[in-house]
Amino acid sequence: MIFIRCELFIIVLYLIGRHIATYLSYAIFAILGYFLIVFCNLVLLTTIIMNKSLHEPMYILLLNLPINDLIGSTALFPHIIKELLWDTRTMPFSTCVTQAFFIHIYATGAVFILTAMAYDRYVAICRPMRYNTIMNNSHLMKIISLVWLSNIFMIAVLFILLLRLPRCRSLLTHTYCDNPSLLQLVCANTSINNIYGLMTVAVTQVVNVGLIGFTYIQILIACFRNKSSDTRSKALQTCATHLIVFLIFECLGLFTITSYRLADISPHLRQFSGVAAMILPPTLNPIIYGLKTKEIRTKALKFFHRIVHPS
């Protein structure tokens, strides 16, 4: 009898230990992932800020991308790491709303920033003689202000509409807090919220995808008209990487949004796409724009060389 109890006790300890080891490995992976995102984005951010030769419209617009990526990653990872380390399943409502707010700021901001960067490339390639006149400091600040102010305003209204509604449930089915999952906790009519949410997504997609589509068509036409193969190759390479980043984020983001309205979609697939949309772009952006952009790559390597060999 004692032997049986000890054996059961050992089995229970083994299962608990394996459970803890699994969660610990996930936590370590999340910590390393967050560290990689923060490190890469800070390197990109520091490289642009510290080098005056990079204080040009293209790089100043690019500067907003790592800032936005850090906002999204910091809204997501600390909570996931805490949950994995302490095996918690609860979160204060105020913390959940704060996380959701900044995640939406990140998602909308990424689309707006990539659109602004596409516009900059359009002017540089299609209007090269007027580039400095059009993309002057005043116009550049207007673009950046429009990106952030319109983003904050849209998301603020979204959450003001959410917070006015009473809650009668407390269980979230998504990996992180966002507006659709928070609306599932509400026990009131959410028609206004759904209409406003769909309207903002539709307007944002039509405007941004329309602008990016127009700019890239014009860029392609200008590239094929250009007789210089080097100029054409460089322009196409820059635009191709930009377009890849945009398409990855768009596909993951739109699938996550539409999955809430499709009953047949697996919740695990929705969670995977949502987390991928939060992890892949912040990880890929500094690598793509840092390694693929010769000026940034050169300056970053010189910066690290000065740190390692200060003399």
pLDDT of residue 3: 36
User: What is the pLDDT, as a whole number, of residue 96?
Assistant: 85
219 pLDDT more than 50: yes
Q: Is 42 helix (H, G, I), strand (E, B) or coil?
A: helix
CA angle 48, 50, 54 (to 5 degrees): 40
The DSSP letter of residue 261 is T
Q: CB–CB of 249/288 below 8 Å?
A: no
67 by Cβ neighbours in 10 Å (0-12 / 13-18 / 19+) ranks as: middle
CATH code, domain carrying 117: 1.20.1070.10
Full residue range of the structural domain in which residue 180 is found? 2-308
Kindly state the DSSP code that residue 263 receives in the 8-state scheme: T
Query: Which amino acid does the sequence have at 247?
Result: L
From residue 156, alpha-carbon distances to 149, 222, 251, 268 in Å are 10, 40, 24, 29
pLDDT on residue 152: 94
Q: How far apart are CA 296 and CA 302, in angstroms?
A: 10
Dump pLDDT digits (tens) for 42-87: 888 888 888 888 888 888 998 999 999 999 999 988 888 887 777 6
Mean local confidence (pLDDT), 97-123: 90
Please state the φ and ψ torsions of residue 131, each to the nearest 5 degrees. Answer: -60, -50
Distance between CA atoms of residues 159 and 157, nearest Å = 5
Long-range Cβ pairs for the range 142-146 (8 Å, 24+): 143/61, 143/116, 143/119, 144/60, 144/61, 144/64, 144/116
Q: Pull the structure tokens for residue 5.
A: 């109890």
Maximum separation of any 2 CA atoms in the chain, in Å: 90
User: Helix 294-308 to helix 267-292 angle, to the nearest 10 degrees?
Assistant: 80
Reported as a pLDDT band with limits 50, 70 and 90, residue 221 is confident
Rounded to 5 degrees, what angle do the CA atoms 126, 130, 133 make? Answer: 135
CB contact at 8 A, 241 and 292: yes
- Collapse the DSSP code of 186 into the 3-class scheme (helix H, G, I; strand E, B; otherwise coil) and give the result: strand
pLDDT score at 236? 66
How many domains in the chain? 1
Of 239 and 137, the one with more pLDDT: 137
Q: How far is CA 206 from the centre of its chain?
A: 19
pLDDT category of residue 7 using cuts at 50, 70 and 90? very low
